[in-house]
Structure 1
Amino acid sequence: MKLDSGHTVTAVEGEEKAKLKKHFVGYPDGLVRVSPDRWLFPGRYMDLGNDYYNFEFRKDDVLIMTYPKCGTTWTQEIVWTMRNNPDLDNPDAPWAVMDRVPFIEFDLFFPKHPPEGMEIVATNAFQRYCPEGDLRGAFNLQLSRAIPEPRTLKTHLPFSLFLPDLLEKSKVIYVARNPKDMLISYLHHHRLLRNQEFIGTLEEFADHFISDDLVYGPYWLHLKEAWQKRDHPNLHFVFYEDLKADIKGELKKLDAFLGTGLSEDQFANVEKYTSFSEMKARDSLFFNSEVSKNDALYNQEIRTKDGGFFRQGQSGGWKTKLTPEVTKKMDEWIRQKCDFGIKFK
């Protein structure tokens, strides 16, 4: 199938399907490749890829773009708070983060034909902005289109799968992270969530990453596309590690990029409100606590043993998690694939 972007999308079949299905027992609609770049996505991308490519961005939009597990939720909360809640008095602040900052392509992770009894509940934002919306359709895409300006939106898709004029229309914040820490976090994510559910070892997960066999990969190409645009005035490229090391300084840079003009008191509000400890304490507001206790959606053994969505929020944790063999493989991957000028912190 040919997409409007010029890419070709095909279902993963045969030996490749068997290889992936051995370790990834989620993905109810299978997986697809988007060529020639070999992007890997859940099967629903076959139906929704053109909708994402042709998504109509507006001049006041801010799009947060990351590869998974690179500080996305933190950045969503920071940017939304700076733009909408610097005095911490916005009545919508208790809404789930994806109600306030919709995840454009989140529908990829919901079955195309939900099984009988699978109830999808209209969120606060969906009820308000999509009163005639279809919950059995692409409800996150509907919400992304419907929320009022100025919109803050989230995606894990790369630049090449959106229209080429994205940066001429809107502002984009791209967050990059050391791939070794990203790998550890993404592994936990795949073990925790049933709709992705990885059942192999750390070494096997690392091999999938190096072979560009993780959803949203290849990571190196995702990074390269953004890195090559880093000097565009409408792109703010930031490292997760810099946000951790100097949040005050990075908030100042974001303020200048966004044009929010915050006062010192407002900076202090944002810094405290979006700190890891504060966000972890509000965990149930980000991700419904009752949903997270549902074993059909979350692996409760992993949740109990290794934690839920918010765990440590640190940099450099890979040093105690990766084996010397995996570290060596990752170093070689960085040397070979990330030779376009980027240096990880």
Structure 2
Amino acid sequence: MLRNPDLDPNNEEMKEPLWVRSLDVGFDIVFDNYELAKTDMNSIAEKFSRVCPGKKKEDGMVLQIMKSQPSPRVIKSHFPLELHNKDLLKKCKVVYVARNPKDMMVSFYHYIRVTRSANYQGSLEKFTREIMKGNSLCSTTRVPSI
């Protein structure tokens, strides 16, 4: 009987935080730009040292960790489809999850205010306007008025 290693409590990776087990392809970019890299990056750096011996961190730890994983693998991203490889839909199975934009903005606003990575101090109204202009790491086009 085949067992799923992700469900095995003896699997060493089960001890890793979920966000380290399920990496986002954009983490390398985010960690290059935010204060978060000074603290929470340690878990990813430890995994990188373990699974990518001899590789350079500057070449993107998350990308190299993902490349080292056996296929099939799950790669997640918060980036819009147009920022990914044009062959993505031909080469991969893609699951697209969308949220109500109003819910996303309020949730993202509260997240960005409390996280050490951004330390955003503006109002929800200002934040919403910036998102709608496309001034977000996760948006590339102007969002229509809601």
TM-score normalized with structure 1 length: 0.35
Name the Cα RMSD after superposition.
2.7
1:104 aligns with one of 25, 33, 41? 25
Counterpart residue identity of residue 135, structure 1:
K
Larger relative helix fraction: 2
Which residues of 2 match residues 232-247 of structure 1 at below 5 A? none
Residues 218, 122 of structure 1: alpha-carbon distance in 2 compared, 3 angstrom cutoff: closer
Instruction: Report sequence identity in percent.
Output: 32
Shift of 1:220: 6.7
Alignment of 1:192 with 2:111, yes or no, is: no
SS of equivalent to 2:128: helix
1:173 aligns with one of 95, 105, 109? 95
Distance, in Å, in 1 between the alignment partners of 2:122 and 2:138 is 19
Counterpart in the other structure of 2:8: 89
SS of equivalent to 2:95: strand
Contact kept in structure 1, 2:80 and 2:140, CA below 8 Å: no
Contact kept in structure 2, 1:122 and 1:135, CA below 8 Å: no
Alignment of 1:148 with 2:67, yes or no, is: no
2:129 aligns with one of 194, 197, 207? 207
Counterpart residue identity of residue 14, structure 2:
A
Contact kept in structure 1, 2:79 and 2:139, CA below 8 Å: no
Counterpart in the other structure of 1:138: 60
Shift of 1:84: 4.9
Contact kept in structure 1, 2:133 and 2:141, CA below 8 Å: no
Which residues of 2 match residues 313-328 of structure 1 at below 5 A? none
Counterpart residue identity of residue 87, structure 2:
D
Larger relative strand fraction: 1
Which residues of 2 match residues 1-345 of structure 1 at below 5 A? 84-85=5-6, 88-90=7-9, 91=11, 92-111=13-32, 118=38, 121=42, 123=44, 125-218=47-140, 333-334=145-146
Structure 2 gap ranges (5+) = none
SS of equivalent to 1:109: helix
Distance, in Å, in 2 between the alignment partners of 1:166 and 1:139 is 21
Contact kept in structure 2, 1:129 and 1:146, CA below 8 Å: yes
TM-score normalized with structure 2 length: 0.75
SS of equivalent to 1:145: helix
Shift of 1:168: 1.5
* Larger CA Rg, structure 1 vs 2: 1
